[in-house]
């Protein structure tokens, strides 16, 4: 059944190219490629979501290096003060 659907999409894509409607042809091409790959390919890669990490990047989400530990947040009440009491004036 999947082959029949792909064949129908390929015919529709050829018709879109003949009509010079290249945007629809490209969308159909991507849909056909996704159907051929299928969910059972075992690939760990995911399709990129536009605007996920900003323009010009192919990184989907930030992944810290192995063994990285998030640093403690500084205390805003003691930032800039020396330990041990008041400042001398």
d(CA 24, CA 63): 35
CB atoms within 10 A of CB 31: 15
Structure letter (DSSP) for residue 75: P
Global pTM value: 0.45
Domain boundaries, the chain: 2-38
pLDDT tens per residue across span 9-55: 999 999 999 999 999 999 999 888 888 876 655 555 666 666 555 55
Contact 7, 15 (CB under 8 A): no
């Amino acid at each position: 059944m999947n082959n029949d659907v792909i064949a129908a999409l390929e015919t529709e894509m050829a018709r879109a190219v003949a009509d010079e409607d290249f945007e629809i042809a490209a969308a159909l091409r991507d849909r056909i490629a996704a159907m051929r790959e299928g969910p059972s390919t075992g690939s760990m890669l995911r399709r990129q979501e536009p605007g996920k990490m900003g323009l010009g990047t192919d990184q989907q989400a930030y992944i810290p290096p192995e063994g990285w530990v998030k640093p403690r947040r500084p205390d805003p009440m003691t930032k800039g003060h020396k330990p041990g009491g008041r400042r001398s004036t």
